[in-house]
Structure 1
């Protein structure tokens, strides 16, 4: 991860409370217009309900009004796609003006989140008619806990200049596609886990407009910031797991000291991740050490066993139920960074490894040659042998890392040069192409419009626009990479990072769709 500080509510939503249990569905409606309440999620202290109005008549239904009572112990805390009012435990839901009429045979769904466990509504009427009827089976499938992982980084500093917040994960539809979020980064200064940015993490007050659930923070609530927003996101998407990532390019220096006393490091990390203010937010810890027994922003000489020892200490302290993961080098060259550390020796204590199969080439080599920063395979003229995704995957597999514990890395950004005259890769340059936040780097959501891809090489895309040359992944090349991941038996894919995608999640959609 070589970088500087650097509503799809229903997709996969019907989840059984216990293994092999059938999700509860309560259908109401006398006559030909029915209303179905489906328990989409239930996490004990709260639940999510999907309500579907279906026109079974031969005439168009221009409006609808549903009235019902909720049993004691449950209330509606928020609703969407219907106007909902209440008086005590009596609720009225009416069609929003934008929703349009219901043609014969058509359905419309709205939903709500409630407090307490799910309880079926009582005394329901639709358009004044007494309710009645049976049950309707669910039409969506629960997320497959053994399925492919789709893991995305959320950068804590994105809430500033990028104006990217946890809410955007929901509104883009990405939350429904993700299995895990990596929150980046915590610090490692002094060989201890520490807060990276307290304001962004847990102090920033969110307005109703910027909040995941449309509820504004108050001055006296115990937890605010992105941590509280992540809590709200998980309430809407109970399948989601959140992992706190420590280190990264900028903050990996402290791992050298951590390796001198892994138990003390693990203790500090556990105490921070499991802080009572946010312990329910995080499901584990991720180590992004760039790079053990090799050089990144600084050089480490802790030896080939240091990483394995740190991971072992973390697993011992966090226990078997927590997620412990790691982002690692993707240098597949002979004698390169993968060879410098015993990653295979650590894999038994890790849920998975994420070789960072991007940033192989870029304008950190100012004069070029131009080359794709995330090649899937080698190609004639590649500037450095072993600098491609397949080389990294094959090397790790050859060392004994199981394929299903390896995730393929995707960059949601491009790297580029300026002063380039040659369209094909391999041209000379004069420096880094201009970027919105950092020279030589630009988000996919920008590049797809300003410099559309004109060619592909080694399973990724490139483009020359004026004197600027960029390489980046597109939905099409990601689809190819996911085919590779499937063919190799990999555990899924991960990406850096969420704010680089389009507002409707083009790239994450390609990952999810490609993995199947």
Structure 2
């Protein structure tokens, strides 16, 4: 899963951009066959969004933005990213962001400034306020650490104590010395990237231990809310898109203990490559290419129950420059990767360049922008609704977003995912 902060774009600018994107078409674009999106009956699915801990800095993204943008109306679950592993125990990744930052009144969900001496401040207090206002929204803590830290913590001699530390800190609410927040989190998301064949047995045992201890603490909990899983607390994992991350694992064994398998179906292409491509294509004309479709089919073939799979979508973008046009308007062409925190605001900027046009692949519905020099792969409402349709056709549990700060100020991408019926028309770009 990506580990970087992303900045919000101006909501008004993005609204204007989307209007222009729908109308944009290169006069030299060749005719192509348009593949229609599928129209499906209205059906509510899980919409899970990762909330960036680091958004607290430089006022990039904070909890009240979920309300101001309307994002909270589309979400069924919020995964707070992130907690860490230290000395085979769950630990706060950034105590300043989590519990110590003093929020001003205008930045606080209740409009009241934090008291500097209050035991609990920071993001966690804002999540408390968010939960009080939206009690049906589940909030999970995402444990993210290096694979070697997970491997060590999952060893038989460390496993039970590690899981207990996570449950005590986050589910029982013993956040830190003098800081108590019981019932703040409704479950735990485990982001081990990635267990291999050598660590598979410890991975299964770790999930089973989480399930055992979470079920035990459930019996003592007096605050289970409607909407949590039937097991009480939600246990989810983040899992990889590549075949090498799927084949070593028995997904039936994993599914026996977890509620959600969030498939990170992105990063098929990125700035590590010297040629351009789609970072999260739904499909491809190349039968050897890995895509969202091949990834999900591989999980289903490996025994993962469809209803436990969440289809991951990226709210970030990747860019190359010095890209020669060739015959594909910058697609599958050599270029120099652009490093940085790119998202919808990057699309706004590029579309203002002379010669910039929006193009769309008719098979995957993936958009790209090319101005004769710069190439950008990103998601928009059309591509996201195509993925929502795919998820529903395959009876998947829902959609997972990495991560929420990459959306517009009015949450246009998230709202596109939560629409009951996707558009049945592909806009006229190539």
Structure-2-length-normalised TM-score: 0.78
Answer yes or no: is the 8 Å Cα contact 1:325–1:353 preserved in 2: yes
Which segments of 5 or more consecutive residues in structure 1 lack a partner in the other structure? 7-145, 294-300, 434-438
Q: Which portions of structure 1, spanning 4 or more consecutive aligned residues, are displaced by more than 4 angstroms?
A: none
Post-superposition Cα deviations, 1:237-259, rounded to whole Å, max 9, x if no partner, equal 111110000116xx443101012
Q: Structure 1 residues 446, 416: closer, same or farther in 2, change over 3 A?
A: closer
Which segments of 5 or more consecutive residues in structure 2 lack a partner in the other structure? 7-42, 175-179, 216-230, 423-430
- Match of 1:303, SS? helix
Structure 1 residue corresponding to 2:187, chosen from 266, 281, 284: 284
More strand as a share of residues: 1
Query: Could you tell me how far 1:153 is from its partner in structure 2?
Result: 0.5
Aligned counterpart, 2:200? 304
Q: Structure 1 residues 182, 326: closer, same or farther in 2, change over 3 A?
A: same
Query: Could you tell me how far 1:323 is from its partner in structure 2?
Result: 0.6
Post-superposition Cα deviations, 1:251-288, rounded to whole Å, max 9, x if no partner, equal 44310101213212211111111224122210000001
Distance 1:364 1:254 in 2: 25
Name the larger-Rg structure.
1
Distance 1:337 1:425 in 2: 27
Aligned counterpart, 2:3? 3
Distance 2:421 2:266 in 1: 19
Q: Does 1:420 align with 2:323?
A: yes
Structure-1-length-normalised TM-score: 0.66
More helix as a share of residues: 2
Post-superposition Cα deviations, 1:436-467, rounded to whole Å, max 9, x if no partner, equal xxx15411244245347611222311111342
Answer yes or no: is the 8 Å Cα contact 2:173–2:184 preserved in 1: no
Answer yes or no: is the 8 Å Cα contact 1:371–1:426 preserved in 2: yes
Number of aligned positions between the proteins: 354
Q: Does 1:328 align with 2:239?
A: yes
Post-superposition Cα deviations, 1:384-436, rounded to whole Å, max 9, x if no partner, equal x452111111111111111111111111111111221122421001x322xxx
Aligned counterpart, 1:158? 55
Answer yes or no: is the 8 Å Cα contact 1:190–1:257 preserved in 2: no
Distance 1:515 1:495 in 2: 19
Distance 2:144 2:185 in 1: 17
Aligned counterpart, 1:11? none
Distance 1:267 1:515 in 2: 42
- Match of 2:90, SS? coil
User: What pairs with 1:42-441 in structure 2 (closer than 5 Å)?
Assistant: 147-161=44-58, 163-247=60-144, 251-260=146-155, 261-273=158-170, 274-276=172-174, 277-293=180-196, 302-319=198-215, 320-331=231-242, 333=243, 336-365=244-273, 367-368=274-275, 370-380=276-286, 385=288, 387-422=290-325, 423-429=329-335, 431-433=336-338, 439=339, 441=341
Distance 2:317 2:111 in 1: 33
Query: Could you tell me how far 1:475 is from its partner in structure 2?
Result: 0.8
**Root mean square deviation of aligned Cα:** 2.0
